[in-house]
Structure 1
Amino acid sequence: MAQDTAQQPPSAPATPARALLPSILPALAIGVLASLLLLLVEGAAEQLQHVLWQNLPDALGVGRYSVLWMMVMLTMTGVLVGLVVWKVPGHAGPDPATMGLDARVLPPVVLPGLLVATALMLAGGPSLGPENPIIAVNVAVVFWLGHRFRPQAPGAVWVMLAEAATIGALFGTPVAAALLISEALAGRQTKGPLWDSVFTPLVAAAAGSMTTTLVAHPSFDMHLPPFGQPGWDDLLAAMVVASVGALLGMCGVYVFPYVHGAFARLRHPMLILPAGGVVLGLLAALGGHLTLFKGLDEVAELAADPDGWTAGQFATMTVVKMAALVVAATSGFRGGRIFPAVFVGSALGLTAHALVSDVHPAVGVATGVLGVLLAITRQGWVSLFVAAVLVSSPSIIALLCIASLPAWLLVTGRPQMQLRADGTSVR
């Protein structure tokens, strides 16, 4: 035993404090910048949404969420985003179906069009969130600024700081960024303790989250009925709902490349995006206005009255939102898939509660979100984190950890909801 221990290579020394101190100020600046850019885009989109979905239909005497207005608005959103993709320099970046949270560095010419397309999408109603394009924009901006002011630093450093800062800003807490970075570093050989590697990104994430919190006061707590100590029935419900959520998410994953291929046959963005808008309008007519937009405000409305809809209505919204997510992401709308997936999982959990009243709403929502996010993002820690913060009950964390095991077995090693340039699924 002593001989084996002697033959092991010595572990890398920890990074001294004097080496970490110079990185704190740039990381703080990056966190603030990332948050302010996110808030600027979301604020502009909210103002435009208010005009499009309240002021304009009221002035025209049309119902705000009538089938006619939803069809008009989603189709016109497709037309406007199509114009940006077609005519604006940079064409609003690469195909969004090929993008994930790990953003590539885009040339600066792409960024204005990508920001405009994202704001139009957020305001117009397609079922996508801001995460993927905002991360891509922040990565490009930080990468350019980093190379300009500190060219000796590796480019990967700026990418990691921008991603961490944006994730912290998106979720209003640096914990999600720390978990995501730790997961990314797990497959790499890092020098020294893991905490040395995540120290600077955590500073950026903390600055981003604090800026968002101080300016916008976000909250992910859905204020569901309080959940006490878990029992055996809660454990069974958690495992079943999480597994069903994973299977539902995988249904979306498996049809993803086929729906993308169908829209790609139209070849031109002025055909693809308006066609996507028409399909989204039809889905909204089927699922109702709560299946529009990125979904966080709509989830809060569902959670405010868990018994306010029937199981059939919850199930319809679940399936429609999943279909809308797939259509929006494959037809060229610029956006991310995490936030609408949260709606899908929440509606699924409330469906379970409506079918079986013994399924606690908090257990159903948290485990439904967990299963769907595991399938769509393939990010275990982030899925656990998002599911936990929606409920804000420490006693549910153990249930989530156990429920993640069968759900993970259903999704690991299978295709992901992201495509390569040739249209095949990333595995």
Structure 2
Amino acid sequence: MALRQTLLSPGYVRLLLLSVVLGVPIALACFFFVSLQHELQHWVWESLPETAGYDRAPWWWPLPAMLLAGLLLAPVVTRVPGHGGHVPVNGLGGPLLGPKELPGVAFAALATLPLGVVLGPEAPLMAVGSGLALLALRSVKRNADPKTVLILGTAGSTTAISTILGGPLVAAVLVVEAAGLAGPQLVLLLLPCLLASGVGALIFTGFGKWTGLSIGALTLPEVPPDANPDAWDFLWGIPVAVLIAVIVTTGHRLGYLTAAWTRRHTVVRTVVCATAVGSCISAYALITDRSPEEAALSGQAALGALAAHPHSWSIGALAALVLCKGLAWGICLGSLRGGPIFPSALLGAAIGIACSGLPGLGTAPGLALGLATATAVVTRLPVTSAVLAVLLLSHDAASQMPLVVVCSVVGFVTSQLLEGERKSGASS
């Protein structure tokens, strides 16, 4: 009864309307934000090398690019309000970032992510969404209720992330799972977020077709041929999921070490970490004689290419990608700024496809379990990870769903066990 009264109250109805009204300008701003970021990335890694006379970025290209990224980010981390956003090793969580932190977050993302930082756009995008929502609320109402601030800030974040992670469904499930079992309070939080994210997805879709701009969302235009999982897929899938969880958790632990190391002498050590990331990316290009762009950046483009043409990558190239990109990702998690999800999805997919040569394990199941396991390890949200993997797999989703669900749980449990060992070891 209390929930019904709240839902029908004039104040809550106004809150729902406000979430829709704010969703339109926030979605527009976020659309052009990620479009600009994608265009800058294309210029740095494709247009500029072609202008310099190369058919693709040479192996040494990441070294000056990442050095520049470190030099641009270091003063933001140390002197600008909000420090350029949350440290990505801590996940997508943390307190909402308000209008004061917005310039630093936007600059850090636009100035460094296109240069090759091995992180995704999801965390800065969520921060931009929440910051714009709170800025609009503050301009309308100076002394807003804290609960209203929380709901509208979260709605702004889900508006921003709804399309970059596959649509409003993933955003809604993320809110549900991250909030925990909050009963009626969860419903009150979820409805404005669902409305705002739906409006955001509509804006992103419409403006993408109208302007022709790309936002670089996490999508798989093509996936390996459909194959229903059988007993062999589950027999191999569970240990492969454990392997993925161990590798991704190891990268995450490197992020904790890097974060602790950069707390002192932050300016110098941030530049050192960025240079180390560039070295890892260049090492991949030297080892494989492939483009360094595959190991740089967030990985959504490489993930799409890997899913569409998995057999064009040798086992050695996939191993080098996991090693070099995994090291670069771990360093970025603790020292630079961005989102942790996108690169982990590529790492999981690469391991899953590399293991698909095992007797009885298909390419499509390997891709499916890799996506679900890696994202569950990083986000600590197995349901959200399963939903995201299912949406990415498109027409293969129905057949791969049992394997996706099982492996997301296996990855989550394994990472929790490993995390518990890390904490117990640190405390002793």
Q: What TM-score range do you get, normalising by the shorter chain?
A: 0.7 to 0.9
Taking the aligned partners of 2:42 and 2:144, their CA distance within structure 1 comes to 46
3-state secondary structure, aligned to 1:171: coil
1:408 maps to: 412
Contact 2:130–2:157 (Cα < 8 Å) also in 1: yes
Kindly tell me: are residues 231 and 41 of structure 1, through their superposed partners in 2, closer, same or farther at Cα, counting changes over 3 Å? same
CA-CA distance at 1:61 after TM superposition? 3.5
> How far did 1:368 drift?
1.1
Q: 1:337 aligns with which of 331, 340, 363?
A: 340
Tell me which residue corresponds to 2:358. 356
CA contact under 8 A between 1:388 and 1:397: conserved in structure 2?
Answer: yes
Change in Cα spacing, 1:190 to 1:18, as seen in structure 2 (3 Å) is closer
- Kept after mapping to 2: 8 A contact 1:249/1:371: no
Q: Which residue of 394, 399, 424 corresponds with 2:403?
A: 399
Match of 2:214 in 1: none
Range 142-151 or range 361-370, more displaced: 142-151
Residue number in structure 2 paired with 1:223: 222
* 1:366 match: 368
Other structure's SS at 1:370 match? helix
Q: Count residues in correspondence.
A: 403
**How has the CA–CA distance of structure 1 residues 198 and 232 changed in structure 2, closer, same or farther, with 3 Å as cutoff?**
same
Residues 260-279 of structure 1 deviation map (CA, whole Å, 9 limit, x = unaligned): 233444x132x223212211
Identical counterparts, % of pairs: 23
The Cα of 1:347 is off from its aligned counterpart by: 0.8
**Residues 310-329 of structure 1 aligned to structure 2 (within 5 Å):** 310-329=314-333
Name the structure 1 match of 2:261: 262
Aligned to 1:39: 31
Using the TM superposition, give the Cα deviation of residue 383 of structure 1 relative to its aligned residue in structure 2, in angstroms.
1.0
Measure, in 1, the Cα distance between the counterparts of 2:85 and 2:188.
34
Tell me how far 1:413 sits from its aligned partner: 6.0
> After superposition, where does 1:148-297 map in structure 2 within 5 Å?
148-150=139-141, 151-153=143-145, 154=147, 155-191=149-185, 195=187, 197-216=189-208, 220-265=219-264, 267-269=265-267, 271-288=268-285, 289=292, 290-297=294-301
CA pair 405-99 structure 1, distance change in 2 beyond 3 A: closer
Distance change >3 Å, CA 263–CA 64, structure 1 → 2:
farther
- Tell me the amino acid that sits aligned with residue 170 of structure 1: I
> Where do residues 65-80 of structure 1 align in structure 2 (5 Å cutoff)?
65-80=57-72
2:110 corresponds to 1:119: yes
Query: What residue number does 1:7 align with?
Result: none
> 1:304 aligned to 2:308?
yes
Unaligned runs of 5+ in 2: 210-216, 286-291
Deviations 1:27-84 (A, max 9, x none): 2233333322322222222232233223333333456421222212121222222244
- Partners of 1:319 and 1:222 lie apart in 2 by 26
The normalised TM-score by structure 1 is 0.85
Call closer, same or farther: CA 1:188–1:321 in 2, change over 3 Å: same
Comparing 123-132 with 231-240, which one deviates more in the overlay? Answer: 231-240
- Distance in structure 1 (CA, Å) of the matches to 2:379 and 2:218: 22
Change (3 A) 1:127 1:351: same
Q: CA deviation at 1:98?
A: 6.3
Deviation at 1:284, TM superposition (A): 0.8
Q: Hey, what's the Cα distance between the residues in 1 that align with 2:238 and 2:40?
A: 41
Q: How big is the shift at 1:118?
A: 0.4
Amino acid at match of 1:124: L
C-alpha contact 2:385 2:408 (8 A) present in aligned 1: no
**Deviation of 1:403 (Å):** 2.3
- Which structure has the highest helix share of the two? 2
For the aligned residue pairs, the C-alpha RMSD in angstroms reads 2.8
Which of 115, 125, 139 is 1:134 aligned to? 125
Contact 2:253 2:330 in 1 (8 A): no
Distance 2:376 2:95 in 1: 22
SS in structure 2 at match of 1:410: helix
Structure-1 separation of matches of 2:64 and 2:139: 45
Q: Residues of 2 paired with 1:389 and 1:285: CA distance? A: 33
Cα shift at 1:186: 2.8
